[in-house]
Structure 1
Amino acid sequence: MGYKGKFKVWRGDASGGDLKDFEVEINEGEVVLDIIHRLQATQAPDMACRWNCKAGKCGSCSAEINGKPRLMCMTRMSTFEQDETITVTPLRTFPVIKDLVTDVGFNYTKAREVKSFTPPADLKPGEYRMQQIDVERSQEFRKCIECFLCQNTCHAVRDHEENKESFSGPRYLMRVAELDMHPLDTAADRKKSAQEEHGLGFCNITKCCTEVCPEHIHITDNALIPLKERVVDKKYDPLVWLGNKIRRRTSSDA
């Protein structure tokens, strides 16, 4: 059975905007993205929203629904009361282009700053070998659909515009952590770059990124915290410090 639902959708652009009220038909089994499409078809043909697969795998339809960062295509209308007013707004962390579409270019800039996987020079394609436990260790992180909900909800980015230059955010620190775990990666020191180039110290592990991940990746527990621990071991462990000092002295004597 269908019913009339109440929606508030943010309409506007970079110069400003406001929430607009809509009353719209809602049918059984629908998701928020279905309703946005119905509004486009029946009441607001110029409403802008980004979407592609409608299956929770492309990450395109990210928005904030009743204040929580979510994928519109994975948010079922059945999770709301029929008399509840549902508010849909664009991702707050990124500049608005129009209506529900934001400029997420920040994330692509940070992606390019992560040095790519670099295999040993003496290995040819097809010769890579690694233990299954090492494959499984980082497999979880490869589920990321780059919806940028974790980037959007991270308060170190969301509430502090000045951090964006120095802080890559949870999605790309997770990428650094994945590469740091890879036994065949020979790129520059990932732990050092995490701290000095990607702003690992800005993360205070509140787990807000994990809470909004639609792929249920344990970003904080399995990527960021272990990366922080490895950085601390390398930088502050007295035995590691002594070992590095001895190695430097030995190499200089040679």
Structure 2
Amino acid sequence: MTKRTFHVWRGDGGAGSLAAYEVEVNEGEVVLDVLHRLQATQAPDLAVRWNCKAGKCGSCSMEINGRPRLACMARMSTFGPDESVTVTPMRTFPVIRDLVCDVSYNYQKAREIPSFTPPPGSAPGDFRMRQADVQRMQEFRKCIECFLCQNVCHVIRDHEENKESFSGPRFLMRVAELEMHPEDTADRRAIAQDEFGLGYCNITKCCTEVCPEHIRITDNALIPLKERVADRKYDPLVWLGSKIGLRKGADTPLPPNTRATTTGPEQ
């Protein structure tokens, strides 16, 4: 058993500051364990959001020594013996109290995404998917909605005005998942650019770096989605077809064999 210095942000949406605590730390513990001990011994009114304590619910997202992480997955053994630990709420979202943020922005963006659109008249079991398509969807569905990728995305973090027009990497990944689903008939390329702000993303991969599920958000979702949007807008054959009447309109879904496709295991 050792004593460690924790600097924990205390306050609400109006104001706050870091408070220093000397807390007992035992072998094998994670940051969330220490925060629970802090609640039990020194700060019973400390607000911390958590649920599963297994890295699968995404509830305990916060910033630990300046890096967005899950408190239940940040092992104390990874910090130096004399290193203090600074714990602050996610900076992109409004603070409710202490380490708890209002992440309702993310749920609002989730509701704006059109749902899965199967072919007319189809029923469950009418189609079979290739294993490559299954694996692609499974990677995206590993998301635990911790919103660390949303928190670290500088397009949202540094520009409050972008929250109206930019969905962020988590929900652009959802758009990409549906757009690349072989049985989704909606053409989502226009709304990805015009409504969800895909063009704001400059693929810095900061979202991928903080993902606790190791989803390759940039390489496997955002870049392929950008390629499809560019093909739709600049492909000369698509443009020519729309001009001579081979397409009913620019937003009409293209037949599966003419839609922009990507190849390779990461696409």
Q: TM-score range by the shorter chain?
A: over 0.9
Letter of the 1:208 partner, please give it: C
Once the two structures are TM-superposed, the CA of residue 243 in structure 1 deviates from its matched residue by: 2.6
**5+ long unaligned stretches in structure 2:** 250-267
- For residue 179 of structure 1, give the secondary structure of its aligned residue in structure 2: helix
Displacement, 1:242? 1.4
Q: How much is the aligned-residue C-alpha RMSD, in angstroms?
A: 1.3
Q: Report how far residue 118 of structure 1 moved.
A: 1.2
Once the two structures are TM-superposed, the CA of residue 127 in structure 1 deviates from its matched residue by 2.1
* CA distance in structure 2 between the aligned counterparts of 1:185 and 1:14, rounded to whole angstroms: 42
In 2, the alpha carbon distance for the partners of 1:82 and 1:129 equals 54
Q: State how 1:204-223 maps to structure 2 within 5 Å.
A: 204-223=202-221
Question: In the aligned structure 2, how far is the partner of 1:52 from the partner of 1:85?
Answer: 25
2:144 aligned with 1:167 = no
1:10-66, CA deviations, whole angstroms, 9 ceiling, x for partnerless residues?
Answer: 000011100000000000000000000000000000000100000000000000000
C-alpha contact 1:64 1:70 (8 A) present in aligned 2: yes
Tell whether the 8 Å contact from 2:242 to 2:248 is kept in structure 1 after alignment. Answer: no
Q: Report the number of matched residues.
A: 249
Asked if structure 1 preserves the Cα contact closer than 8 Å seen for 2:9 and 2:88, the reply is: yes
* 3-state DSSP of counterpart to 2:185: coil
Could you say which residue in structure 1 is the equivalent of 2:254? Answer: none
Identity over aligned pairs, percent? 75
Q: Check conservation: 1:3, 1:82, Cα contact below 8 A.
A: no
Which amino acid counterpart does residue 124 of structure 1 have in structure 2? A
What is the alpha-carbon distance in structure 2 between the residues aligned to residue 245 and residue 42 of structure 1? 72
Q: Which runs of 5+ in 1 are unaligned?
A: none
Q: Deviations over 1:157-181 (max 9, x none)?
A: 0000000000000000000000000
Q: 1:173 touches 1:200 (CA, 8 Å); kept in 2?
A: yes
**CA–CA distance in structure 2, aligned partners of residues 5 and 72 of structure 1:** 16
Structure 1 residues 239 and 155 mapped into 2: Cα distance closer, same or farther (>3 Å)? same
> What is the CA–CA distance in structure 2 between the aligned matches of 1:125 and 1:169, rounded to whole Å?
31
Report the Cα distance in structure 1 between the residues aligned to 2:52 and 2:81, rounded to whole angstroms: 27
Between 231-240 and 47-56, report the one with greater CA deviation.
231-240
Equivalent-residue separation in structure 2 for 1:40 and 1:203 (angstroms): 39
Q: What do residues 134-188 of structure 1 show as CA deviations (whole Å, max 9, x unaligned)?
A: 112222101000000000000000000000000000000000000000011123x
Counterpart-to-counterpart distance in 1, 2:141 and 2:104: 21
Equivalent residue for 1:233, pick from 231, 234, 240: 231
Secondary structure of the 1:51 match is coil
Structure 2 residue 176 is the aligned partner of structure 1 residue 177:
yes
Distance (Å, rounded) in 1 between the aligned partners of 2:244 and 2:75: 60
Amino acid of the structure 1 residue aligned with 2:211: C
The structure that is helix-richer by fraction is: 1
| Matches of 2:227 and 2:152, distance apart in 1 | 23
Task: Kindly indicate whether the alpha-carbon contact (under 8 Å) linking 2:156 and 2:166 is maintained by their aligned counterparts in 1.
Answer: yes
Cα 1:155–1:124 change in 2 (3 A) is same
Q: Deviations over 1:77-108 (max 9, x none)?
A: 00001211110000000000000000000000
Please give the alpha-carbon distance, in whole angstroms, between the structure 1 residues aligned to 2:221 and 2:84: 37
Aligned to 1:70: 69
8 Å CA contact 1:110–1:172 kept in 2: the answer is yes
Structure 1 CA distance, aligned partners of 2:127 and 2:86? 49
Residue number in structure 2 paired with 1:152 = 151
| Matched position secondary structure for 1:164 | helix
TM-score normalised by length of structure 2: 0.91
Correspondences of 1:33-72 after superposition (within 5 Å): 33-72=32-71
SS of residue paired to 2:5: strand
**Separation (CA, whole Å) in 2 of partners of 1:93 and 1:225:** 24
Shift of 1:120: 1.1
